[in-house]
Amino acid sequence: MTFILGLTGGIGSGKSAASTWFETQGITVVDADIVAREVVEKGQATLQQIHTAFGDWVLLENGELNRRALREHIFKDPNARQILEQITHPAIRQSIIHQLQSATSPYVILVSPLLFETNQHKLTHHTLLIDATEELQIQRASQRDGQSIEQIHKIIQAQMPRQQKQQLADDIVLNDGHLEHLYHHLKALHQRYLKC
């Protein structure tokens, strides 16, 4: 069975930078955020279930999901969030499992910002946390997305606290230097993972 590495970290920690590096080494990366978007694409059964559960307002005129309206709705109503997650989480999980099993690289990575929060780490054999101080997270994420500091702060608050993730992760790379420094640490880990 192919070794599955779970890769996580808070917003702006450097998960995508790390994933991209692993991809350059020929490792297949399954991105939980991308899967979450794929399962609600037009024509997918999951989108039909959301439509049935919430009504016509969840669809745009072109039949695609009105993400903004849905986001605002579940933000106001925790019960609605639960209903949505009961529909989406099993579909996301199934698709992740399928994509992990289809990978042909020496090992495979599942990258997810909410790896521990959503129990996706249970789909993996080993976990790697890309860690950064909150200050760096805010600096990097605001430069990348142009989001306000308050918005990023809110996202950080909604994620599992850094210390808790440090306790749960099998490996930790502190991404507090240049990208070359990050790659240097990843290279050593990659050599180990190749032997798993």
The site for ligand ADP (CB under 6 A) is made up of: 9, 11-17, 140-141, 144, 175, 177-179, 182
Q: Which is nearer to ligand ADP, 6 or 14 (CB)?
A: 14
Nearest approach, Cβ of residue 182 and ligand ADP (Å): 5
Q: Check whether 13 is labelled as a binding-site residue.
A: yes
Calculated CA dihedral for residues 158, 162, 165, 171, nearest 10 degrees: 140
Q: Check whether 17 is labelled as a binding-site residue.
A: yes
Nearest approach, Cβ of residue 145 and ligand ADP (Å): 9
Q: Which is nearer to ligand ADP, 60 or 179 (CB)?
A: 179
**What is the per-residue burial (b if ≥16 Cβ within 10 Å, else e) of 136-158?**
bbbebbeeeeebeeeebbebbee
Q: Which is nearer to ligand ADP, 91 or 130 (CB)?
A: 130
| Nearest-angstrom CA–CA distance, 190 and 177 | 19
Q: Check whether 14 is labelled as a binding-site residue.
A: yes
Q: Check whether 6 is labelled as a binding-site residue.
A: no
| Nearest-angstrom CA–CA distance, 107 and 103 | 8
State which H helix or E strand residue 135 sits in: helix 134-145
What are the binding residues? 12-17
What are the binding residues for ATP? 12-17
